[in-house]
Every structure is written in structure tokens, then in C-alpha cells.
């Protein structure tokens, strides 16, 4: 079925931006330690001057970290697609927003509790992802990127123009607080939302790690290297790509469901192509094809995006001439320039820096 | 549906098609020749619209608005050419054969460029004075058609003809067409395809920037992110038309522009945009290579 439409293209050389993955034995221990440290943050009253404005345990700081953790999880889900399967989807925001809007709408329209709405939203996302994925995966490479972008944009237009009068249009849809457990509402309880975000990021890490090490995960990486050869070996790449697409969509939707509690509402911006492009920045910033790299990229991105405007307001850039000050107060400008520099001169992202600086012996 | 409404919607839809064609044709050629998905193409469009705004609102020395608009077209075209040329020469060229990196680079340029324009001119929507003639109406078959719509249509048709003539009648055009068909073969004949790469990028930048000028007139206002929105529909146009085919792009631009206008008018804002995506899905299911495309990529 799928084979009839797959056409032969010239074999593409593996991209310099995606290094061969490496599975280290120490990673689970390191991640465990990092997880414990992050778990303890809400108990730390100390301040880190310059890095965060308030004490570590303050709601403001926890909010920034929690957004970073959600981004980290969603970035890892995107890494499954781009870094491990070699699929350049430009529509990942669609599935993130499905989790966000889906959960909120289910709570609103059917008065479901948050705990019941989230799994249902994830199932809906899976079905949607499988349907749209099977259409988009009929074409390869750049056409696939364009098609996923178009589908995501259709959803964006749908929630923004709101012809069905359910999604709140440009204003977005405020969180339906009544159905959310008390633990996750109110500024005092920010730490519970923070722990939820941390749990989401850790679960995503474990699932992604297991997935890429599984038999299917190996086929994903083979598809990334040379899809024609996988087909020649008697496997049907379409099925494996669809699996990767579905799994990453569900994980992204999970991130959307947590993000809903963090920002207390669903806005059309979360479904826009700009969010997908930001995800690409996160993953490439951290390092494609490395789960911890993607996670790091998400954390750094979330932190910079929320902190840079504050930095600009604090007057650090005031002495600069106006033509330079304007762009520098745009977080996206700094991030995009950083991104271009990394892509050009350090294609493995932040995760490749230890190797580049010779801090780690290269493995055979 | 009365004839007046039909004519008005048709002309408006064709005007939109003209804007789509200008941005999509360069995209399609770049992809056909070099396999590069140029995400910076929306930026070329934005550069064109901000060049227009700049000329129209700052060039007080030129008293006549009509003359000022002609200057704006030239400035936009020159800037689009320059930005396209620089993008290929300074960035894309370094990563031949590595498609993912090329896409990532153009993505970074696009976002940085939009943030740069936003930082300089703010993200607020901008409007600018237009020649009085643009606001006047012509009556065709009882429908009152704004002159600006007809002008957009005329400029796009002229550029379509010019582009096709260039591709069919000149040596450079011949190399580009041959390169789209089989790049290795052209290289094997001792022709420097890299020169065509730069040319196609600069040409694409020029066309998209003029699209930005016409888009600014069509939508009566500009924002820095606007190019990205139009780019999404340009992608749809390119895929439906068939990658690498200018004729296919023109055909599909008309199809998409008209569909969007008519459905948006009769079924409500936003529904037309969704219909276009359905059109895309249908094309992929029934004819993955696009209307006039030879091979699916």
C-alpha cells in the first residue's frame, strides 16, 4: 500500500547535524541524580543572584523551571522524530496543542475531571496523529515537512478563527479550574505543578530511552540512515515511521496537558508554526539524536525565553545604540542567532561540546 | 450568487493567487533545482513589504505617490535579490548535500530576520499611504473592482510571463530547467551548476519581495510575522502544483486563491483556509507528485 507511492530518490547523505546516537551506561545514573536535585528545588530557600530574581523555592522561579521542564519533555518527543527517525515534521505544535486544547475542552464541555480528561485527550491525539500521519507519510523528505506544516496550520486556523465557537478564538480558552484537583491550583501550589512537570519530563525521558533502544527504535535509526535499504531488507518503513510519529505526538500532547496547568489556559499561539520552529531550535540547540541534549535544549530555551525580556527591562542594553538595542531585547533574535552559529560551527549542539572541547575520550 | 459577487470574488481570488504565485514560484524552483526547502523565503517576502512601507512613508522627496510606489517596487526587488543572493552565498552554499542542515540554517535566518525587523520597526501592524488611483473602483459586469486588485493581477501576470520567457529562451534558464530535471547530468557536461544555485536564490528573493509589495497592498497592512503566514500557503501551493514546475505552481496558485476566497466568503472566515488544506490532502492521496509534477520527492 505504502510501497506503491514511495518513489526512489537519491540516497541522502547522513546530515552533519545528526550525529550517530550513543547509549551510555552512566546516563540513567546521571539523570537520576539530576532528577533528585530538581525534585529538591522547591525546598531550597537560597537565591542565585542574576540567574533567578527570587529564591529557588519562590513560585516565579518554579514557574520558569516548570516551563523549561515541559519544553524539555516536548523537545525529547520531537527528537524521536527528527533526531532518531530522520523525519522533519513542521507540525509538532499541532499535537502539543491537541493535548492543551483537548484536555481543556473535555473538562469544559463534558465536565470531566482533569485526571479523566488527560488520558482521553492522549487517546484522541493518538488517533488524530495516526490518521494525519498516514496521509503525510505518503510523501518523503521535504514534501513531508510541508504537509505536516499545512495540517498543523489548519488546526491553528481552526482554533484561532473558531468557526465552531468552542475554542475561544484569538483570546484562547481559560483553564476550567473547577475540574482541576486543588493541589494544582493557586500560586501557593506552584510547586505541585512544578513536580508534575518534572514527572512528565522524567517519564518522557524513560519512555523515549526505552523506545529508541527497542527493536523498533533500531529500525527508526536505520530509516534515518537509509530508508531504501530498510525497505530492501523486507521491512515496511511506513509502519515504523507511523509508530514513531504516533508515539512522539502522544508524548507532546502529555506536555500540552501539563502546560495547560502552568499557563492556566490554551492560546492559539501554542498551535502555531512558530512553536514548532521553537521546538526545532530547542532540539538543535541541545543536540539532535541525544535525548539529554534535547532535554537540555528545552530547559535552556524555556529559561532564556522567560528571562531575557526581564534582562532587557533591567537596562543592561541601555548604553547600546538604538539599532542594536531593539533586536537585542527580542529573546527570539538572540536565540535564533545562537541557533545559526551552532548549526554552522557546532552541528551537534550543546551536547557535542564536551567532545569538541576534548573533555571526553572519543569512543571507537 | 449574483454575477457581481462572482466577478468580485474571482478578481480578489486571482489577486491572492498572484501573491501566492510570486512567493511559491521561487520556492518551487529552489526546491526543484537544489532540493532545499527554503524557510527563509517568508523573510524575503517580509523584506519586500517593509521596503515598500519604508519608501512610501519616508521618501517625501518624491511628491507623487504613484512614482513613489514605482520606486518602492524597484527598491523591494533590489533588496529581495540581495537578501536571496546573500542567503545562498553566505549560508546555504556551505552545506551542499546536507539537506537537514540547509533547512535548519534557512529556518534560523528566517527567525533571526523576523526578530530583527520586529526589533527595529516593532511588531505593530504598519500601514502606509498608497496612490489615490489604487482606491478607485472600476465597474466590470456590474461589480465594483478596486484598481489595486487589477494592478496586483497585472503585475503577477507580467512576472509569470517574464519568468517563463527567461526559463525557456535564455541560456541561464535552460541550465536551470535542465538542472531541475537532472542535476548530475548537467554537472557532467561541465556546466557550473553552483552559479545557477545563486541565481535561483536571488531570483526567488526578488519575486518573493515583489510578492511582499503586492501582499502589503492586498492585505492593506504589514507585520513582521506576516511572511511566515503567507509562506505556509505558498508551501501548499508548491506541493499541489508539483515541486519544481513553474506552470504547475501558477495553476495551483489560481486554484488555491480562488478556493480560499469563495469558501471564506460563503462558509465563513477560516473555513476557506481549512478547505485549502483538505485540497492538499486530497492531492497527496490521489496524485502525490502534484498537478504538473513529474516525480514525487
Cβ contacts (< 8 Å) between A154 and chain B: which residues?
A: 273-274, 277
Cβ contacts (< 8 Å) between B289 and chain A: which residues?
A: 7
B232 and B24 in contact (C-beta within 8 Å)? no
A233-258: string of b/e by CB count within 10 Å (b at 16+)? eeeebbebbbbbbbbbbbbbbbbbbb
Name the minimum distance, in Å, from the CA of A312 to any CA of chain B: 12
Q: What is the pLDDT of residues B92-135, one digit of tens each?
A: 888 877 778 888 899 999 989 998 998 888 888 888 888 888 87
Q: Which of A78, A93, A70 is nearest to A301 (CA)?
A: A70
Name the minimum distance, in Å, from the CA of B28 to any CA of chain A: 11
CB atoms A15 and B100 under 8 Å: yes
pLDDT band at B43 (very low <50, low <70, confident <90, very high): very high
State the pTM of this model. Answer: 0.84
Name the residue among A86, A281, A329 with its Cβ closest to that of B119.
A329
Residues (pLDDT < 70) of chain A are 1-24, 312-313, 315-318, 358-364
- Residue B55, class by beta-carbon neighbours within 10 Å (0-12 exposed, 13-18 middle, 19+ buried)? buried
Query: What is the interface pTM, i.e. ipTM, of the complex?
Result: 0.83
The set of residues, in sequence order, having a beta carbon less than 8 Å from that of A257 and lying 6+ positions away, is A99, A100, A102, A103, A117, A118, A121, A122
Q: Which of B144, B132, B125, B114 is nearest to B44 (CA)?
A: B114
- Residue B95, class by beta-carbon neighbours within 10 Å (0-12 exposed, 13-18 middle, 19+ buried)? buried
B210 and B48 in contact (C-beta within 8 Å)? yes
From residue A166, give the alpha-carbon distance in Å to each of A160, A161, A174, A255. Answer: 10, 10, 12, 22
Give the whole-angstrom CA distance, residue A266 versus residue A162.
Answer: 13
- Determine the residue among B270, B275, B276, B279 to mutate to test chain A binding: the one whose Cβ has the most chain A Cβ atoms within 10 Å: B270
Name the residue among A17, A139, A150 with its Cβ closest to that of B104.
A17
Percent of chain B with pLDDT over 70: 98
Q: Which of B272, B277, B39, B260 is nearest to A135 (CA)?
A: B277
Q: Which of B88, B68, B64, B66 is nearest to B76 (CA)?
A: B68
Name the residue among A138, A277, A335 with its Cβ closest to that of B288.
A138
Question: What's the pLDDT at A265?
Answer: 87
Phi-psi region of A349 (alpha: psi -120 to 50; beta: other; left: phi over 0): left
Question: What's the pLDDT at B128?
Answer: 83
Q: Which of A266, A251, A209 is nearest to A95 (CA)?
A: A251
B104 and A19 in contact (C-beta within 8 Å)? no
- In this structure, is the dihedral angle defined by the CA atoms of residues A103, A105, A108 and A111, taken in order, positive or negative? negative
Give the whole-angstrom CA distance, residue B248 versus residue A165.
Answer: 37
At residue A267, the 3 state secondary structure works out as coil
Beta pairing class for A265-266 and A173-174? antiparallel
Cβ contacts (< 8 Å) between B90 and chain A: which residues?
A: none
- In this structure, is the dihedral angle defined by the CA atoms of residues A29, A34, A39 and A41, taken in order, positive or negative? positive
CB atoms A7 and B111 under 8 Å: no
Cβ contacts (< 8 Å) between A17 and chain B: which residues?
A: 98, 100-101, 104
A178 and A108 in contact (C-beta within 8 Å)? no
Question: What's the pLDDT at A244?
Answer: 96
At residue A262, the 3 state secondary structure works out as helix
CB atoms A281 and B111 under 8 Å: yes
Beta pairing class for B137-140 and B143-146? antiparallel
Cβ contacts (< 8 Å) between B295 and chain A: which residues?
A: 7
CB atoms B236 and A150 under 8 Å: yes
Helix (H) or strand (E) holding B160: helix B147-169
Give the residue ranges of DSSP H helices in chain A. Answer: 27-40, 59-79, 92-110, 114-136, 141-161, 190-213, 215-225, 227-232, 237-263, 273-286, 291-313, 322-328, 331-345, 353-356
Beta pairing class for B143-146 and A173-174? unpaired
State the average pLDDT over residues B183-206: 88
Cell of A129: 496523529
Cell of B123: 511588531
- Determine the residue among A2, A141, A142 to mutate to test chain B binding: the one whose Cβ has the most chain B Cβ atoms within 10 Å: A142
Cβ contacts (< 8 Å) between A163 and chain B: which residues?
A: 268-271
CB atoms B239 and A146 under 8 Å: yes
A and B: number of Cβ contacts within 8 A? 160
Cβ contacts (< 8 Å) between A136 and chain B: which residues?
A: 284
- Greatest Cα pair distance, chain A, in angstroms, is 64
- Rounded (5°) CA angle A316-A320-A322: 115
Cell of B45: 517576502
Question: What's the pLDDT at A239?
Answer: 94
CB atoms A143 and B243 under 8 Å: yes
Give the whole-angstrom CA distance, residue A364 versus residue B23.
Answer: 47
- φ/ψ of residue A12, rounded to 5: -90, 140
Q: What is the mean pLDDT of chain B?
A: 87
Give the whole-angstrom CA distance, residue B174 versus residue B207.
Answer: 19
End-to-end CA distance of chain A: give it in Å, rounded: 41
CB atoms A337 and B112 under 8 Å: yes
At residue B274, the 3 state secondary structure works out as helix
Name the residue among A146, A273, A280 with its Cβ closest to that of B104.
A280
Name the residue among B94, B120, B243 with its Cβ closest to that of A323.
B120
Name the residue among A18, A143, A337 with its Cβ closest to that of B239.
A143
Cβ contacts (< 8 Å) between B274 and chain A: which residues?
A: 154, 157-158
Question: What's the pLDDT at A207?
Answer: 95
Q: Which of A314, A337, A336, A318 is nearest to A326 (CA)?
A: A318
Amino acid at each position: 500500500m505504502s510501497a506503491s507511492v514511495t518513489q526512489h530518490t537519491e540516497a541522502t547523505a547522513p546530515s552533519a547535524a545528526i550525529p550517530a546516537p550513543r547509549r551510555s551506561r552512566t546516563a540513567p545514573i546521571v539523570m537520576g541524580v539530576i532528577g533528585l536535585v530538581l525534585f529538591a528545588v522547591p525546598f531550597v530557600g537560597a537565591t542565585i543572584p542574576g540567574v533567578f530574581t527570587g529564591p529557588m523555592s519562590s513560585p516565579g522561579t518554579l514557574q520558569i523551571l516548570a516551563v523549561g521542564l515541559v519544553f524539555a519533555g516536548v523537545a525529547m518527543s520531537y527528537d524521536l522524530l527528527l533526531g532518531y527517525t530522520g523525519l522533519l515534521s513542521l507540525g509538532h505544535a499541532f499535537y502539543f496543542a491537541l493535548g492543551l486544547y483537548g484536555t481543556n475542552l473535555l473538562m469544559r464541555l463534558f465536565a470531566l475531571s482533569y485526571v479523566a480528561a488527560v488520558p482521553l485527550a492522549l487517546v484522541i491525539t493518538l488517533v488524530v496523529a495516526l490518521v494525519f500521519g498516514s496521509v503525510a507519510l505518503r510523501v518523503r523528505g521535504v514534501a513531508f515537512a510541508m504537509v505536516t506544516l499545512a495540517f498543523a496550520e489548519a488546526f491553528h486556523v481552526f482554533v484561532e478563527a473558531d468557526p465552531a465557537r468552542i475554542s475561544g478564538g484569538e483570546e484562547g480558552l481559560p483553564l476550567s479550574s473547577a475540574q482541576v484537583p486543588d493541589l494544582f491550583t493557586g500560586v501557593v501550589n506552584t510547586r505541585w505543578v512544578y513536580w508534575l512537570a518534572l514527572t512528565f519530563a522524567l517519564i518522557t525521558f524513560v519512555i523515549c530511552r526505552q523506545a529508541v533502544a527497542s527493536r523498533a527504535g533500531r529500525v527508526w535509526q536505520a530509516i534515518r540512515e537509509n530508508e531504501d535499504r530498510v525497505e530492501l531488507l523486507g521491512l515496511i518503513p511506513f509502519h515504523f515511521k507511523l509508530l514513531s510519529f504516533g508515539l512522539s505526538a502522544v508524548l507532546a500532547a502529555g506536555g500540552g496537558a501539563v502546560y495547560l496547568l502552568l499557563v492556566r489556559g490554551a492560546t492559539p499561539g501554542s498551535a502555531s508554526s512558530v512553536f514548532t520552529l521553537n521546538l526545532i531550535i530547542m532540539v538543535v540547540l541541545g543536540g539532535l539524536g541525544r535525548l539529554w541534549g534535547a532535554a537540555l535544549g528545552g530547559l535552556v530555551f524555556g529559561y532564556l525565553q522567560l528571562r531575557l525580556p526581564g534582562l532587557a527591562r533591567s537596562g543592561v542594553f541601555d548604553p547600546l545604540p538604538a539599532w542594536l538595542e531593539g533586536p537585542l531585547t527580542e529573546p527570539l533574535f538572540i536565540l535564533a542567532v545562537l541557533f545559526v552559529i551552532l548549526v554552522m560551527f557546532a552541528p551537534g549542539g550543546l551536547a557535542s561540546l564536551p567532545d569538541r572541547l576534548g573533555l571526553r575520550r572519543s569512543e571507537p | 450568487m449574483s454575477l457581481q459577487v462572482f466577478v468580485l470574488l474571482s478578481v480578489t481570488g486571482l489577486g491572492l493567487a498572484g501573491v501566492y504565485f510570486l512567493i511559491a514560484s521561487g520556492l518551487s524552483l529552489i526546491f526543484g533545482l537544489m532540493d532545499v526547502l527554503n524557510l527563509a523565503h517568508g523573510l524575503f517576502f517580509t523584506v519586500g513589504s517593509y521596503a515598500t512601507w519604508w519608501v512610501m512613508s519616508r521618501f517625501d522627496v518624491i511628491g507623487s505617490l504613484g512614482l513613489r510606489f514605482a520606486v518602492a517596487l524597484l527598491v523591494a526587488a533590489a533588496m529581495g535579490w540581495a537578501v536571496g543572493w546573500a542567503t545562498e552565498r553566505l549560508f546555504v552554499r556551505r552545506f551542499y548535500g546536507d539537506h537537514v542542515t540547509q533547512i535548519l540554517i534557512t529556518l534560523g535566518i528566517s527567525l533571526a530576520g523576523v526578530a530583527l525587523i520586529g526589533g527595529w520597526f516593532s511588531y505593530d501592524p504598519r500601514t502606509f499611504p498608497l496612490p489615490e488611483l489604487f482606491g478607485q473602483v472600476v465597474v466590470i459586469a456590474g461589480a465594483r473592482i478596486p484598481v489595486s486588485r487589477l494592478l496586483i493581477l497585472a503585475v503577477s501576470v507580467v512576472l509569470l510571463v517574464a519568468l517563463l520567457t527567461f526559463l525557456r529562451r535564455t541560456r541561464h534558464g535552460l541550465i536551470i530547467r535542465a538542472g531541475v530535471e537532472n542535476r548530475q547530468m548537467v554537472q557532467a557536461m561541465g556546466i557550473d551548476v553552483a552559479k545557477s544555485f545563486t541565481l535561483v536564490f536571488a531570483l526567488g528573493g526578488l519575486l518573493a519581495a515583489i510578492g511582499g509589495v503586492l501582499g502589503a497592498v492586498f492585505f492593506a497592512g504589514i507585520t513582521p510575522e506576516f511572511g511566515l503566514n503567507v509562506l505556509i500557503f505558498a508551501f501548499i501551493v508548491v506541493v499541489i502544483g508539483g515541486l519544481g514546475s513553474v506552470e504547475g505552481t501558477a495553476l495551483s496558485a489560481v486554484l488555491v486563491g480562488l478556493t480560499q476566497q469563495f469558501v471564506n466568503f460563503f462558509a465563513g472566515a477560516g473555513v476557506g483556509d481549512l478547505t485549502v488544506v483538505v485540497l492538499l490532502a486530497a492531492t497527496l492521496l490521489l496524485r502525490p507528485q502534484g498537478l504538473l509534477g513529474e516525480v514525487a520527492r
